[in-house]
Amino acid sequence: MSDDDPTRRTALRLIGATAAASGLATAATAQENGSNESNESSGDAHEGMGDDADQRPIILAGRSEYWYGIAPEEIEGEENPTLDLAAGTEYELVWINADGAEHELIIETADGEELEESDSSEEAGEAVSMTFEASEDAAEYYCEYHPEAMRGDVELGDGFDLAPHEHGEHGHGMVGNESAAENSSE
Ligand SMILES: [Cu+2]
């Protein structure tokens, strides 16, 4: 039952690429068949996602100690990263179960009212995808099962830049020349 959701497959493919690059390959390669970028990615477009299909997902890894940022670049490697969202914008958030403990991501208001919740997962390597429209009342996100350790802020403003990467380009042209130069060392 796990393989018939095209959204999930797309997410896994994205994660495969991103996670390998950020040293999280162990968690992510437990998924599927290890077919990374080679054959199945005919073109960068997500298929059949409708709406905001061009936008890249926010990607986290979940472990009992913290949520770990994978994408976008702004949160890569951060523990319980702040999620920059723009109210009214639709987001896809994907999280990977990194340790096989049961996790479930919930977004709540400052008053503790639940706004969104993902499916739960207790399988290492599994990716859980959720799509939601950012509410102006969103304040924090946390794990249902580890609500203290796995908790971070939601900050409403302009939101992350999740525009798709152009072919052959690395980094965002608009972030500024200096950071582009820093990152180009490899
Ligand atoms: Cu958890």
Interval 97-139: pLDDT, tens: 999 999 999 999 999 999 999 999 999 999 999 999 999 999 9
> Phi and psi at residue 18, in whole multiples of 5°?
-70, -45
- Alpha carbons 156 and 89: distance in angstroms, whole number: 11
59-90 tens-digit pLDDT: 999 999 999 999 999 999 999 999 999 999 99
Tokens 């207790």 belong to residue: 122
Q: Please state whether beta strands 103-109 and 114-121 pair in parallel, antiparallel, or not at all (unpaired).
A: antiparallel
Q: How confident is the model at residue 165 (pLDDT cuts 50, 70, 90)?
A: confident
What are the chain's domains? 55-183 (2.60.40.420)
Amino acid making up residue 181: A
Whether 125 and 30 have beta carbons less than 8 Å apart is answered as: yes
Percent of the residues in the chain that have a pLDDT greater than 90, as a whole number: 59
Decide if pLDDT at 35 tops 60. no
* Ligand 1 center from residue 104 Cα (angstroms): 6
Q: 41 alpha carbon to ligand 1 midpoint, in Å?
A: 31
H or E element in which residue 96 lies? strand 90-97
- 13-17, 24-28, 107-111, 113-117 — which is least confidently predicted? 24-28
Torsion of CA 120, 123, 125, 128, to 10 degrees: -20
Residues with CB under 5 Å of ion ligand 1 are: 103, 143, 145-146, 150
CA of 65 to the centre of ligand 1 (A): 8
